[in-house]
Amino acid sequence: MTQNFPAHQFRQQNSSFEGIDMAATISEPIVQFRNIGKTYDGKSNVLEGLNLDVARGEFVTLLGASGSGKTTLLMILAGFEAATEGEVLLNGRPLARVPAYKRNMGVVFQNYALFPHMSVSKNVAYPLVRRGVPRAEIRTRVDEALDMIHMREFSDRLPAQLSGGQQQRVALARAIVYRPDVILMDEPLGALDKNLRETMQMEIKRLHSQLGTTVVYVTHDQSEALTMSDRIAVFEKGQILQVGSPSEIYERPRSSYVANFIGEINNIGGEVVAVEGGICRLRTPDGTELCGADVLSARVGDQMTLAVRPENVCLRAGGDEGLRGEVTNVIYHGDHVRYEVRTRSSGHLLVRGSTDESLRLGHGDRVSLTWDENKARVLDGAASGLAGARE
């Protein structure tokens, strides 16, 4: 989708030698979370020291495992929960004393039920009726909103006469009909089956580019986050570990947690033996030396993990370069072949290979694994083995 904010708006916050845009703050944000803390029970912190800015028109996704605090942050923005610490600004103004109904934010939740006794058009009209919009204007705006979601012909139906996907479309129309400053969505597609979910993802993206409204979207589904967002904020235990565009998050994770949460990745543990020119050399327990980008300014002697995606590993029959191993499984996927390779001291690793018959390797073949050192990342921890993609 087209971004309706210039890329240069992003200001570097946590600078690094890689020049990665780690910006949690941006110029002219519409929403600013400043040092947000939240506890429900006065003992454990559900959110801690959380900072994030959202640009006008941006689609930002809060991504993380269940219980990491995404919904709590959304509730604080909506005004349904209060932060224990810090403040939220909308257009530069603190929201603390602004009640939820005055925040001009549309909300779509997984279980945010439509009013069952009201027709589709009455449901969509409801926010306008509450705001005292004149009746003729309500009719026009409801029709516009229903046209946008291709549901005009269903305007007289009751919610029970609609499918799950159609109901979520109506919930979307109800959220956009009063032209809110920000639309908040919490797992809005969580209850839908896979195909419908993918269709609705496209629909939401289309609406976003059409309307140019700012969207803050919550999901635990990494592929949904990658395909829909301008930027993703990865949550773990009430903190944001990394903020970046989908490609930054996927290609340049800054921690093992982020690397493993998004997509599949091979983790190879070892000890740092040299660091030079942004490249870190790691020695695995069997003495093999491997290189990857030095993301965390490692020092010689540190135990670290080299993380490399299966599609970035080059597999060769025989060879004495890089890691050596033996093919233990070959799975044909049509557009690629997946190889599982058992290595001596780094566990089972996964490689995405070409389907070209002449290059095809088989079970039991001895192979070597190499990669472009800039496509591997030396991160925290010292675990080895493959981390699978999560749902």
Residues near ligand ADP (CB under 6 A) are: 40, 46, 64, 66-72
Whether the Cβ atoms of residue 105 and residue 57 lie closer than 8 Å to each other: no
Question: Which residues, including other chains, have CB under 8 Å from residue 356's CB and lie 6 or more apart?
Answer: none
Between 61 and 346, name the residue whose CB sits nearer to ligand ADP. 61
Distance between CA atoms of 390 and 242, rounded to whole angstroms?
Answer: 18
Question: Which residues, including other chains, have CB under 8 Å from residue 6's CB and lie 6 or more apart?
Answer: none
Between 67 and 285, name the residue whose CB sits nearer to ligand ADP. 67
Between 124 and 185, name the residue whose CB sits nearer to ligand ADP. 185
Q: List the structure tokens of 52.
A: 């994030």
Between 74 and 182, name the residue whose CB sits nearer to ligand ADP. 74
Q: List the structure tokens of 135.
A: 């009746």
Between 48 and 294, name the residue whose CB sits nearer to ligand ADP. 48
Distance between CA atoms of 173 and 108, rounded to whole angstroms?
Answer: 10
Min separation Cβ 68 and ligand ADP, Å: 4
In a 13 Å sphere around the CA of 52, the CA atoms on its Cβ side amount to 27
Q: Where are the alpha helices (DSSP H) in 274-372?
A: none
Q: List the structure tokens of 103.
A: 């925040």
Distance between CA atoms of 360 and 220, rounded to whole angstroms?
Answer: 36
Between 21 and 187, name the residue whose CB sits nearer to ligand ADP. 187
Min separation Cβ 64 and ligand ADP, Å: 5
Min separation Cβ 70 and ligand ADP, Å: 4
Min separation Cβ 33 and ligand ADP, Å: 14
Min separation Cβ 111 and ligand ADP, Å: 13
Min separation Cβ 226 and ligand ADP, Å: 18
Three-class secondary structure of residue 227 per DSSP: helix
Bridge partners of 270, per DSSP, are: 304
Between 81 and 294, name the residue whose CB sits nearer to ligand ADP. 81
Min separation Cβ 216 and ligand ADP, Å: 12
Bridge-based pairing of strands 45-55 and 29-39 is: antiparallel
